Amino acid sequence: MDRNPQKSFQDMILALHDFWSAQGCVILQPYDMRMGAGTFHTATTLRALGPEPWNAAFVQPCRRPTDGRYGENPNRLQHYYQYQVILKPSPPDIQELYLKSLEVIGIDPLKHDIRFVEDDWESPTLGAWGLGWEVWCDGMEVTQYTYFQQMGGFDCKPVAGELTYGLERLAMYIQGVDNVYDLDFNGQGVSYGDVFLENEKQMSKWNFEVADTDALFDLFAKAEAECRNALDNDVPIAAYEQAVEASHLFNLLQARGVISVQERASYMARVRDMARGSCEKYAETMTPAWQAKYPEWSL
Amino acid sequence: MSDFLLELRSEEIPARMQAGARAELEKLFRREMDAAGVAVGDVTVWSTPRRLALVAKGLPEATEAVSEEAKGPPVGAPDQAVDGFCRKNGVSRGDLEVREVKGRETYFAVKNVPGRAMSELLAEAIPAIIRDFSWPKSMRWGAASLSTESLRWVRPLSGIVAIFGEELVACEVDGIASGYATMGHRFHHTGEITIGNAADYAEKLRACHVIVDHEERQDMVREGAAKAAAEAGLKLVEDEGLVIENAGLTEWPVPLLGRFDEAFLDVPPEVIQLTARVNQKYFVCESADGKLANAFVCTANIEAADGGAAIVDGNRKVLAARLSDARFFWELDQKTSLEDHATKLERITFHEKLGTVADKVERVAKLARWLAEEGIVPDCDPALAQQAAELCKADLVTEMVGEFPELQGLMGGYHAEKERLPREVSDAIRDHYKPVGQGDDVPTAPVTVAVSLADKLDTLFSFFVINQPPTGSKDPFALRRAALAVCSLATIGTLRIPLINALANAYAGLVTTALDWAERAQSDAAASASRARQTLDLQDFANRSKLLSEAQTSLRETTGAAVQAMELLKTLKYQSPNELVEKTIEVVAFIFDRLKVQQREAGVRHDLIDAVFALGGEDDLVRLLARVHALQAFIDTDNGANLLAGYKRAANILKKEDWHGVEGEIARTGEEDPLSQVDDPDMKAVVEARMAQAHAAELSYTPEPAEKALIEALDAAEPQAAAAIEAEDFATAMAALASLRAPIDAFFEDVTVNDENPDKRAARLDLLARFRAAVHNVADFSKIDG
């Protein structure tokens, strides 16, 4: 059956998969953990380190507990999808590739106004920053486009280009729909609301009202301890997973409104220490293998 | 003579950086040409989001040959010196010439620099320009970034066009080779364009939908937007910042007008404008009656096939989503009164050592009330000043201000209006941040002035107390701006603010804050202890342990509060009244420093401000300025200039003789503390006059006529000047001083100060000291330049 990215959310995703697969990307499945952004996927953070080429594309569900609106806001969700592409080193024609990918999903650049508007990216949590743009389509931000310069406090050598598409927004635009729940999910009558509305209602309630905060605090402390344990035993990928877990627990505690302004900074610092510590350890652990292939290379 | 074209193409350059980049490109090009000795005439620089271009007209085909020579060490100098000289000049020893200089054989290095072809020079200059180019932020990219030494640019550099005359300037930077080819518009033109020379560059690009001249694009945006508005029967709200930004985001700007739902106009117009401007870079429009219209103008980068219908529709949707967010906030915020919003300020830290914004608001309210009650801000109702101050920061906790911090004050003002609070109060809430920097409107409404002034004085004093004054270029708490605001409020409103007294009030406010914390900590601790005590009766262990852990948490928090109170009190615990006065004077001096900056534009000399401030005791900005104005007028007259000269001469003599003047001599007489009364400002003039008379009467010799004339002139001028200063009639005080000019000139002309007779010498030095003291009644002339 022919795909129709302009009428079906899943066809849009599949079209992107086809396109980036044809560019030599590894098509990955989502990371099986709760995380706030596709950037947290190890395929992005950890793979941005080191000298080896790496091209990957994947959908990552993102959890932003404080953005929950009980299914009542047409654009805001506590769970949504990002499509992420990472190309290392950034190819010279990355902008052209990106623009082609928009055409593939049905955006005609002679009918719609595509613009690259300065928007630099920084994640103190990951010790990372990069320069780039938010890409506008008729005034709407549809993609975050970044050239990673540092990750985990280390210079990216070489630099990776990261593209993060906001899938629901893009689909709403392409399908001409004003409410995310009205999106056609499969082109055969199943809507986004059929799939996710009840989920948004229940999860918003849990995020804001129900989640046991004592248990969350406890889990945070346990994640922190486990992160340390993993670092002490030289398994930084496992340590990094605990940092991702702690980061989401922190976001949940924020949504529950139990972290005071004063405490907020200290929790963020704890998450940052875990994430950066894991990235650093990962880079140090991998360096001998990297240098075996790239003798000139240093961390 | 030929023209040179350089185009540096890259991925999209941030709009805000383009003006700086054009200047940098021209600067570096001129630097390179200067270094090569090439005279550069007319240089044009252009920018678009995707390229920087430079055209230099009429460059020579080659540089002229020059002969440079350098004089070296004499023949016979140590080898080291000769070798060093050779190295420095890049010649070998055998090439050195020997010439005679003042009878000594001396080495000379003569270098004949041959003329060089311009294209060769340019080929070297271009890589240097690119490598030295300074961007606010730059990055690495691509395969070359495997090394951190790879080229840095604002975004990936993708191409170089370099043509001198009709010829390619061949060069390469980090794998990017120069050529004739460039790219047209990203979507309107596919494939490369070949540029022939500098003259056809702009036109070839234009044919491919790129307007390379940024000023032309700015005109297109400015005029196109105005035209789109006019065609809809509306007037564009002009915004030059948006013009430049949109021109920096497009190579082919096409302004398009769209409409949004009229229902959004319920939201305050500033909110709509800000939403459109900041988030979307749209212009807004007004209808004929000057009210905001439900229209926006966006600037597209393409000539769309459908005339822009899809683009306008897309932008309309995005704006609608933004505006519905704004309306949601606006409606949500109104469900809570300002007074209730204000209670949440307890959760916002103002500064860790100074407590919360709620603490600050309490201090500001008291200070504002005091300023009104004392009549320092005339015609100000103290109750309204207090009310306005209590509510002035409430909007900081609203959703709207959380989203758009620049709306602080304004939103509070709107909410106050909605709540039908007195007009004075809503005005004060809206405008109390003003003036923000020089050139901003300075409020004059009394209640607004009282709140604004109280807010700034509290901020200034508080940060000086915790030792956080601005240092160098760092002023994280914007204290310079606050001090400048105090100066503007005082001078525009002719407010007589006793600054030392006002700051002492700010001090009392801080002490109260600290004591409040201490008391609250104590009662909170007592409350949690009593809750914990109740658990003793509980059988339910789970519940007991929960309550005990709550008590533990609450005690930890109250302990924190108590420590914070203790720390602040420690900071505020001055050892003596003097220490407090010193702190206030430090702040007053800081404010007066800003006054100098503020008055510089008005042509007031800073040394004159110093001269009056140096007298000490002056803490009233208005009076100080009046004195300075009178002084400046006086110094500009003949009399003033000559008196200043006389003063300097007298002061020099006294300094040379190490003469401590009337006071010093009296102290030497052994009388019982004859100066005890001198410290009393009311008595000072009286005491000095009496001393001086006693001296005149005591003269053991017959004074010379010029000496006598000066004594008499001082006898007359001193009380006049003192009385005039008392009456704040500084012009008359200056006139009294002016009467001393002729006598002091005559005195220096006719009288020998250093007479052989020690009595005469002492009496005359005393007289000069008395003259100096008389002048000091008006200003410390030693601080005056010239």
Query: What stretch of H or E contains B418?
Result: helix B410-418
Whether A111 sits inside 8 A of B12 (CB atoms) is: no
- At residue B432, φ and ψ (nearest 5 deg) are -70, -15
Instruction: Sort B193 into a burial class: Cβ within 10 Å, 0-12 / 13-18 / 19+.
Output: middle
User: Does residue B253 belong to the interface with chain A, where contact is any CB pair within 8 Å?
Assistant: no
Identify the H or E element spanning B110. strand B104-113
Tens of pLDDT, residue by residue over B166-223, are 999 999 999 999 999 999 999 999 999 999 999 999 999 999 999 999 999 999 999 9
pLDDT at B698: 67
Write out the H or E segment, with its range, that includes residue B48: strand B43-48
Token pair 């350890």 in the structure block, residue: A281
B contacts of A111 (beta carbons < 8 Å) = 304-306, 310-311
For an interface test with A, give the residue of B9, B10, B13, B145 to mutate (most A CBs within 10 A).
B145
When CB atoms are compared, the residue of A99, A130, A133 closest to B12 is A133
* CB neighbour list of residue B738: distance below 8 Å, 6 or more residues apart: B634, B637, B639, B640, B643
Is residue B187 less than 8 Å (CB to CB) from chain A?
yes
Which residues in chain B have their CB less than 8 angstroms from residue A294's CB? 146
CA-CA-CA-CA dihedral for B512, B513, B515, B519, to nearest 10 = 130
Residue A97 has pLDDT above 60, yes or no: yes
Beta bridge partners of A60: A82
Structure confidence at residue B689 (pLDDT): 56
B351 in A contact zone (CB under 8 Å):
no
CB contact (8 A) between residue B12 and residue A116: yes
- For the entire predicted model, the pTM comes to 0.77
Q: Which residues of B, range 72-91, sit inside 8 Å of A by Cβ?
A: none
- Interface check for B137 against chain A (CB to CB < 8 A): the answer is yes
Q: What is the pLDDT of residue B686?
A: 54
Taking the CA of residue B155 and the nearest CA in chain A, the distance in Å comes to 8
B160: Cβ contacts below 8 Å, ≥ 6 apart: B6, B7, B8, B9, B126, B130, B171, B173, B176, B177, B178, B179
Q: Count the neighbouring beta carbons within 10 Å of the beta carbon of residue B302.
A: 24
Confidence of residue A117 (pLDDT cuts 50, 70, 90): very high
pLDDT tens by residue, A244-259 = 999 999 999 988 888 8
Check CB contact of B315 with chain A, cutoff 8 Å. yes
Residue count (chain A): 299
Q: How do beta strands B176-179 and B157-164 pair?
A: parallel
B143 interfaces chain A, CB cutoff of 8 Å: yes
Mutate to test the interface with B, among A131, A133, A141, A180 (most CBs of B within 10 A): A131
For residues B484 and B594, is the Cβ–Cβ distance under 8 A? yes
- Of B282, B306, B314, Cβ closest to residue A173: B314
Interface A-B, measured as beta-carbon pairs within 8 A, has a size of 117
pLDDT at A278 over 60: yes
* Mutation for B interface: A73, A95, A111, most B CBs within 10 A: A111
Mark out the alpha helices in chain A (DSSP H runs): 9-22, 94-104, 167-175, 192-205, 213-232, 236-255, 261-293
Contact B146 A120 (CB under 8 A): no
Check CB contact under 8 Å for A138 and B310.
yes
Interface touch A140/B317, C-beta < 8 Å: yes
B218 is written with which tokens?
Answer: 């700015």
With H, G, I as helix, E, B as strand and everything else as coil, classify residue B167: strand
Does residue A35 register a pLDDT over 70? yes
> What is the pLDDT at residue B576?
73
Q: What is the nearest CA distance from B12 to chain A, expressed in angstroms?
A: 6
Residues 284-303 of B with CB under 8 A from A: 298, 300-302
Q: Which residues contact A101 (CB under 8 A, 6 or more apart)?
A: A16, A19, A20
CB environment B369-389: b (16+ within 10 A), e (fewer): bbbbbbebbeebbbebbbbbb
Taking Cα atoms as reference points, which of B285, B365, B373, B277 lies closest to residue B319?
B277
- Chain-chain contact of A139 with B143 (C-beta, under 8 angstroms): no
**Strand ranges of the sheet holding B292-300, from the earlier edge strand across to the other edge:** B235-236, B283-286, B292-300, B254-259
Contacts A74 to B, Cβ<8 Å: 321
Nearest CB neighbour to B187, from listed A109, A157, A159: A109
Q: Could you say which of B16, B137, B310 has the minimum Cβ distance to residue A112? A: B310
Q: What is the mean pLDDT of residues A30-54?
A: 96
- pLDDT at residue number B664: 41
What burial class does residue B699 get, using C-beta atoms within 10 Å of its C-beta: 0-12 exposed, 13-18 middle, 19+ buried?
middle
**Nearest-neighbour CA in chain B from A33: distance (Å):** 30
Angstrom distance (rounded) from CA B199 to CA B3: 8
Contact B142 A159 (CB under 8 A): yes
Query: Do A139 and B188 lie within an 8 Å CB cutoff?
Result: no
* Facing B142 at nearest CB: one of A90, A155, A294: A90
Q: What is the DSSP string of B531-599?
A: HHHHGGG---HHHHHHHHHHHHHHHHHHHHHHHHHHHHHHHH--SSHHHHHHHHHHHHHHHHHHHHHHH
User: Does the beta-carbon distance from A149 to B139 stay under 8 Å?
Assistant: yes
Q: Which residues of chain B have pLDDT under 70?
A: 538, 575, 660-698
- B11 and A95 within 8 Å at the Cβ level: the answer is yes
With an 8 Å Cβ cutoff, are A158 and B146 in contact?
Answer: yes
What gap in Å lies between CA B630 and CA B779, rounded to an integer? 11
Number of CB atoms found within 10 A of residue B347's CB: 13
| Between B391 and A267, the higher pLDDT residue | B391
